[in-house]
Amino acid sequence: MSTTTRTSRTLRGVSAPSTASGWCAALEGVLAGEGLRLAAQPIVDVARGTVVGYELLARFSGPDAATPDVWFAHAQRLGLGAQLDALVLSHALELRDALPEDTFITVNVSPLHLGEPALAAVRDRRGGLERVVLELTEHSAIEDYHAVARLLEPWRQAGAKVAIDDAGSGYAGLQWLMTLAPDLVKLDRSLVDHLDEDEVKAALVEMLGGFADRLDAWVLAEGVERLAELDVLARLGVPLAQGFLFRRPTLELWPTIDGGVRRHLEERPSRAADPDTVGALVEVARTRHRHEPAALSVTVVVDGLGQPTALDLPDGTWDRVLVVRPDETVRAVLERALTRDTHWRWHPLVCVDELRRVVGVVRMERLVHHLIDGTEHRATTPEEDQ
């Protein structure tokens, strides 16, 4: 089969090119305007439950066997990486003109291409880059972070903001933070995955959040797929999030987020309004009915009215459930919980609403840490002059 025939079949999505010449022809077709579209994934304000931005992601109509990262890898290998980045950025800037009010877009750009003429031409042709965030992806080793910082200057002068991707994934991520002082820090998705079940991950997210605050940067958690992860992010004060929980990337222009998730976020502030009440420490929990199989993680067993009857824990199912209300104080709940029998004294508590329906769970260690932190804060805060 000739190269021309093989490539034409590729662009129809039949199979991926198997040779460098096949990839070169496929990429040249894309650069000529064939088969590139941008998908959008919403970025959400965790506190308000509203969409504040969109990440725009390249999608190729062919080959169907090759994901976008494969396309970009082959483009880089063939010396076409900067041109492909420039094309994606150009399309994104065209869409920016129709952005909803008070929102922004993020676009992936390799830091290796920032000084390339192809990207500079797009930047200079558009004039201003307000409401645009350049998301720097470090898929290739960076030898000189200070050189990248210098290359960013004309982009910042044109109005663009800068985001660092995959923060917390290793030493390179910290190097990015220290040298580039980004406007937006995107947490590596490995930190977000099952964050609610890993105290070390939660501590790392909290640490990176504090570091970002020092840089006057926003933190964005990507890869959020579960309500329990979202609740921990909210408790840790992470302001922005994106992921399949809200919406998968879609070719729909400016997509909204899932209605159920939006309602969950809208209701959360009322549960956690007072930081000294249990509502501030509630985490989303799975529920199941008695006839359903037990889970390996913390799960609340409920009756037909959605009221708690038992608790699944890794060591078995326990019928002893301590029920608490969101407006109870942390101290009062902790004092009550510590009177339980030693066999279940440290089991999670089940938080319920006014109809005794499950809101979530409260872990004993959270109550203890909250009380200790409050005591230490009062001890180190100077008393007001009488």
- Predicted pLDDT of residue 349: 95
Q: Is residue 134 part of a domain?
A: yes
Same domain, 60 and 151: yes
In CATH, what number is assigned to the domain containing residue 222?
3.20.20.450
CB 219 within 8 A of CB 240: yes
User: DSSP string spanning 305-329?
Assistant: TS-EEEEEETTEEE----EE-TTSB
pLDDT at 138: 67
Write the CA distances from 33 to 18, 93, 116, integer angstroms: 22, 16, 20
Whether 90 is in a domain gets the answer yes
The two three-digit tokens of residue 27, written as one number: 């990429």
Whether residues 263 and 325 share a domain: the answer is: no
Domain closes at, from 235, 256, 271: 271
Residues 210 and 267 in one domain: yes
pLDDT of res. 311: 93
Considering the domain architecture, whether residues 70 and 190 belong to the same structural domain is answered as yes
- Give the span between the Cα atoms of 304 and 122, in whole angstroms: 60
Q: Mark whether 232 and 289 lie in a shared domain.
A: no
My answer on whether 134 and 255 are in the same domain is yes
| Cβ–Cβ < 8 Å for 187, 208 | yes
Q: Is the dihedral of CA 268, 271, 273, 276 positive or negative?
A: negative
Q: Indicate whether 382 belongs to any domain.
A: no
Do 334 and 289 share a domain, yes or no? yes
Q: Do residue 264 and residue 332 come from a single domain?
A: no
Residues 256 and 233 in one domain: yes
> What distance in Å separates the CA atoms of residue 362 and residue 281, rounded to the nearest whole number?
6
- Tokens 């025939």 — which residue? 5
The pLDDT value recorded for residue 21 is 77
Residues lower than pLDDT 50 in the chain: 1-15, 271-272, 383-386
Rounded to whole angstroms, the Cα distance separating 92 from 56 reads 7
Amino acid identity for residue 111 in this structure: P
CATH (domain of 306):
3.10.580.10
Residues spanned by the domain of 153 = 3-271
Final residue belonging to a domain, choices 223, 246, 271: 271
Q: In this structure, is residue 381 part of a structural domain?
A: no
Query: Which residues have CB under 8 Å from 346's CB, separation 6+?
Result: 364, 365
CA gap 218, 90 in Å, rounded: 25
Q: Are 165 and 137 in contact, with CB atoms under 8 Å apart?
A: yes
- On whether both 58 and 113 belong to a single domain, the answer is yes
Report d(CA 230, CA 212) in Å as an integer: 19
The interaxial angle of helices 81-96 and 20-31, nearest 10 deg, is 30
| Dihedral (CA of 280, 281, 282, 284) sign | positive
- Compute how many other C-beta atoms are within 10 angstroms of the C-beta atom of residue 231: 24
Q: CA 294, CA 288: separation in Å to the nearest integer?
A: 8
Strand 104-109 relative to strand 132-136: parallel, antiparallel, unpaired?
Answer: parallel
Cβ within 8 Å of residue 330, ≥6 positions away: 276, 277, 278, 281, 367, 370, 371, 374
309 and 267 inside one domain:
no
Residue 146 maps to a domain: yes
Residue 178 CA to residue 303 CA, distance in Å, equals 52
Q: Which of 232, 248, 271 represents a domain boundary (last residue)?
A: 271
Residue 110 forms part of a structural domain:
yes
- Residues linked to residue 37 through DSSP beta bridges, in sequence order: 59
Work out how many domains the chain is built from and give that number.
2
Q: Residue 25 domain-assigned?
A: yes
| Measured distance CA(141)–CA(164) in Å, rounded | 15
Query: What's the distance, CA 385 to chain centroid?
Result: 45
Q: What value does the mean pLDDT of the chain take?
A: 83
Strands 316-318 and 308-313: antiparallel
**Which residues have a Cβ under 8 Å from the Cβ of 256 and sit 6 or more positions away?**
42, 51, 247
Residue 263 belongs to a domain: yes
117 in the same domain as 25: yes
Q: Please state, in angstroms and rounded to a whole number, the distance separating the CA atoms of residues 90 and 119.
A: 9
